Structure formats: C-alpha cells, structure tokens
Copies of this chain bind each other. A is one copy, B any other.
Amino acid sequence: MTIQFSKIGLIGKHAHPEVRSTAASLIAFLQHQGIEVILEKTEYSVSPDLPLPQASRDELGKHCDLIIVVGGDGSLLDASRAMVDFDVPLVGVNRGRRGFLTDISPQALTQSLEPILRGEFQEERRFLLEMALWRNNNIIAKSIALNEVTLYCGDIARMLEFELSIGSQHVYRQRSDGLIVATPTGSTAHALAGGGPIIHPAINAMVLVPMHPSVLSSRPIVIDANLPISLHLTSDSVLNPRISCDGQVHFDAIPNDKILIKRKAKELRLLHPMDYDYYDTLRTKLGWSA
C-alpha cells in the first residue's frame, strides 16, 4: 500500500478556531504518513504557530499533487477558482454549514482521508464559468466562478433591465432584481433558493434563474453549457448594477455594459471518498429524509 500524494497544500481560514483545530489534526496525520505539507500564505490563513512552510496559491498549484481545503463551501469555491488552472485535484473537509462540496466530515477525518491518500477515491470533473465585463468594446474586468455568476442590483430601489442572448439568439428583455447564471455545481446553492432546479453535475448545462422578475411567467431556463451567454444592460437600467462570481468577487457595471459568460475549458478536479453518493448528499443537506 503506497501513498499516492507526496506534497499536499492546505487551504483554509486558519484564523477561525474550528478550522485551526481540524487543521492541526490533519497536519499531524499527514506528516505521520510522511507527506510534505505546505500552508497557503494569505492574510487569513497565516498561522504563525504552525511551523510549516508557506506558499502562495500559485506556488501551491504548481508544486502540490493534492490540495486539501478545510472550511465551508465558501472556502472550497475560493480555492477552486485559484487552483483550476493547475492540474491539481482538491478535496474538502467540512467546517461550514451545508457542505455540498466539502464532503469529508472532520469527525471521520482520518478514516475518510486514508483511502483517498492511497488512491481509493472517486474523481469528478466540475466545470466553471468565465465572466468578462465589456464596456465600449473593451474588457474591463474578468473572473471565473464554480457556482454562479450573478447580475444584481446593489440598490433595491429600481429594477435592473437587460437583454439576454444565448449563442446568437435573442431570448428576452427582462426587468428584475437580477439573474443568476449557475453551473450544475451552483444549482444547489443560491440558484436553488431562487426557484431553480437541481441539475446533476454530469450534465453539461447551465441554468438561468431570474431574481424577482416583473413578468410573472418568467421561469428558470436550462441551456447547453457550450453556448455563450450575453447580458446587455439597457440604457434604462438602474444606476448601480453589479456582478458577482460565487458571491465572492464583485464588479460594478453601468448601463450599456455587456456581460459575457461562457463555460471554462479547463475543469476542476474534485476528489470524493469511494462511498460518496450525490443523492445522499442532497437528502441530508436538503432535509428530504425528514
């Protein structure tokens, strides 16, 4: 039996007490397996009392053969966007609320991680979205998202107005509080609370979920993920439209801006325990068993 990973990067908000204690057990366990552990080096994660090498996210991506994220889905989203361009897989240890993505429980940390370290895991690919904000024929901002790109209104005073195109086809002009463009991964996050469907991660589709649309017959639309989406803010639009990626990266837009969203070619590699079951996660997290 051989360990498959020799250098593991650790990402998480180590300042948070719960993360810190789980990270301590984790580090001890990994070092005991002879694995080299490197800590992510950011303002949030620096933990002076851990006598371990630290590296930037890019360095982690380049040099590690596995990234372990300790935290909630928020931490995993954040790490995913940073790691997707490197070929390193991620695994999540849940120290947050729901944990659709971070499926290793801290209570079963070593039992769950040991087989993964030996190479016994399910590897899943999840796709991300690329967002580009265009103004006067120039890209003025870019980002990526694992869950969703959201166009929303910083102010609730007046509704946004925008035109939606999918591929080369005009879909509608909508007045609403905004629009969520979600991946299957994001379909169980904010989009679900907005009335969107659950989309199995094996499907190459995106879902568009209007937020509080003025036309009551507006409905979530599931479309082919290979078609680019364009949101064109009309000149009538409210003064401060905003765009967020995963609810974590934010940009300000103005009337007449265009937001282009498309599937990112490079996919995220996510590792799950062998007994991971997507529907079991849904049942547990959404309270269906009750």
Contact = CB atoms under 8 A, between A and B. Distances in A.
User: How many protomers of this protein does the assembly include?
Assistant: 4
Contact of A222 (B212, B217, B222, B290): B222
Contacts of A221: 197-200
A248 interface: yes
A218 B158 contact: no
Q: Most chain-B CB neighbours within 10 Å: which of A207, A215, A222, A289? A: A222
A217 B287 contact: yes
Interface residues of A, number: 60
Given A197-B221, A198-B221, A222-B205, A290 B215 contact: yes
A214 B222 CA distance: 20
Interface in A121-158: 150, 152, 154-158
Interface string A210-227: 011111111111111000
B197 A197 contact: yes
A62 interface: no
Nearest to A175: B97
A44 interface: no
Nearest to A152: B156
Contact of A176 (B193, B196, B250): B193
Given A156-B152, A211-B212, A279-B171, A219 B197 contact: yes
Nearest to A184: B222
Interface string A234-261: 0000000010100110100000000000
11 contacts: A98-B214, A155-B250, A156-B250, A197-B197, A198-B220, A198-B221, A199-B222, A200-B221, A203-B203, A216-B216, A216-B286
